[in-house]
Amino acid sequence: MRARVLHLTPREEAAKEAAALLEGAYLPCESTWVANAAALGSALRGGIPFDLILLGFETREDLAPLREALGLHPGVPVLLLGGAGEDLALEALRAGATEVLPGDRLGRLPFQVRRALAEARRAAALQEAEGARGRLGSLLRAVLDATSEGILVEDLAGRITAYNRKFMSLCGIPEHLLATLEMDKVIQFLVDHFQDPGAFLDEVRHLGALSGREPLGLLKSLEDRQIEGTGRPCRLGGETVGRVFSFRDVTDRERSAERMKQVIQAQRPFLEAAADAGLVLLHGTGEEVALSETAQGLLGLGARNLPRSLDALLALVHPEDAPALRAALDAPRASLEARLRTAAGAWIRTAWTLGRDAGGRRLGAFRDITGDLRGRREAEARAREDWTAALATAFARALRTPLENLRAHLDAIPPGDARLREAQACAGLLSGLLDQAARAALREPAPDLLLDLNTVAERIRPWAEELAGPRITLRWDLQPGLPTLPLSPGHLEPVLMNLLRNAREALPSQGEILVRTALAPGDPPHLVLEVGDTGPGIPPHVRERMFDATFTTRPPARGLGLTVARHLVEAAGGSIQVETGPLRGTTVKVNLPVGGPPG
């Protein structure tokens, strides 16, 4: 960056010589030459921010331009060039000149200019830093004074580094005492103005050994006001440099809480009658909360971490359940379930009943239902197993007679007919399905066989091509090299047949059916079998019940196909997903874990 230099000298040759010296020393400059004091004043007032001023210096009269330059451009270095005597040079330096360079030492001009510019930049940076620090200090003071809590900050040496006026008014501390910046004197003042000074000192010492935010408890003043204090270590760059204390007046809140405790005490018979329920009483404003002893016991709370406000209570509620609980508090009466965090950090499930008393106060009771839910889930699992067994038995009975009739008709077909092989393959599939149903009914494991997903698809392919007919396009996208599954091949064939039959029936005249197999990444990875069609999609009312037993949209069909398919997939540890929408068809995706069903 080129430095802007203003040079006052009667001789233009002298100005050019100085500029050449600077250029030769690799000090690029934009030099402005003026020949007299009047031109110098005009240049100084012209609005150009000069970085350096060079003044010819021969007589005492040359001190006047020096003073004018320093007055109009304070902070800009001024070098005097000439042969004035030593006494006059000292007078110029006392007047504010940066350096006086005699004419016979003009060769040192680049060095003096470089040093003067560097010092000027350092001074400007220091001035800017001081200004920024001053602005930051003013901003910090404004923020502290705008805070609703009283703030007091001390360093590790026990010196006060910051405080606000709210702290002075809350604790009644005179400003002259805080002006001493001595923490010991402030603590002694607080000790003399609270009813239990020993407890206060204990809390302050306790905080010094901790790393997180800690309450100082309630400090009761001699004027019967109650001040709540908290403190935390103050860190800078990961290093503890002091402590921050905050205080607020909670007299009204504590008095309301005391009144609510009295109400709870009056309702003790109700509490004893419902010993397993925790009672929560909220003030009409909803900002103050009191918990019964039973509620405190259920959550493992003590006096130090007891929630005293609605926000503090909601902080114990699981983030996913907190909005519902907050909304229920505004209703005249409500019931809901919510997860609460205990003092030990565990989550428990609770059932809440909320209402209002005659005085408009909100009253809530909650029970720990964690054990109840666990028992309910176990009962539901047993019920599903019983349902599966009953379904498998009914399915086997429903298929037994049609299968026997099919085999009787097959015996009447002459040998060698191509349709005979296909019909026999269908009979084999039905027989495998009956075996699966029988094992499910008896809760027996499947045989220890290996299932290749692509092999199953290829075995079904001739049957599927005939099912599709000439106007339906059947495409196969089978990823090679898929891992095998520890399942019987007959376990998946009925699933694929049912999905293909449903896809074909969704295309009454024309369209396309895609069968795709793939290995999807994940932890663990899983195999994917997809059957998609370009039909009109599944209506929402059918989508909701399509896996229900006995539900069908095609009487006299029995509606067991998709139900059995889902059962077979879930028995293999997999899942079925359905993606459908108007005018974009339907895709049914079967996901099977590579490890097979859980043991």
The number of beta carbons lying within 10 Å of the beta carbon of residue 193 is 18
Bridge partners, residue 533, by sequence? 513, 586
CATH of 447-599, one of 3.10.20.30, 3.40.309.10, 3.30.565.10, 3.40.50.720: 3.30.565.10
Q: What is the pLDDT of residue 517?
A: 94
How far, in Å, CA of 260 to CA of 217, rounded? 20
State the fold for domain 3-126.
Answer: Rossmann fold (3.40.50)
Q: What is the pLDDT of residue 210?
A: 47
How far, in Å, CA of 467 to CA of 532, rounded? 15
CA 312 to chain centre: 20
Q: What is the pLDDT of residue 62?
A: 77
- What is the b/e burial string over 259-297, where b = at least 16 CB atoms within 10 angstroms of the residue's CB? ebeeebeeeeeebeeeeebbbbbbbeeeebbbbbebbbe
15 within 8 A of 23, measured Cβ to Cβ: no
- What DSSP letter does each residue of 374-385 carry, written as one string? HHHHHHHHHHHH
Provide the angle, in degrees to the nearest 10, between the axes of the packed helices 453-468 and 493-505: 30
Name, in order, each residue with C-beta under 8 angstroms of 368's C-beta and a sequence gap of 6 or more: 276, 298, 348, 349, 350
589 within 8 A of 529, measured Cβ to Cβ: yes
Q: What is the pLDDT of residue 195?
A: 65
Mapped onto helix, strand or coil, the DSSP state of residue 4 is strand
Nearest CA among 23, 22, 19, 56 for reference residue 39: 56
CATH code given to domain 253-368: 3.30.450.20
Q: What is the pLDDT of residue 590?
A: 92
CATH of 147-249, one of 3.30.450.20, 3.20.20.150, 1.10.287.130, 2.40.70.10: 3.30.450.20
How far, in Å, CA of 480 to CA of 319, rounded? 46
Name, in order, each residue with C-beta under 8 angstroms of 530's C-beta and a sequence gap of 6 or more: 514, 515, 516, 517, 518, 587, 588, 589, 590
| Residue ranges for the chain with pLDDT beneath 50 | 209-211, 213, 269-273, 286, 442-448, 556-559
Query: Which tokens is 81 given?
Result: 């060039």
- What DSSP letter does each residue of 467-481 carry, written as one string? HH-TTEEEEEEE-SS
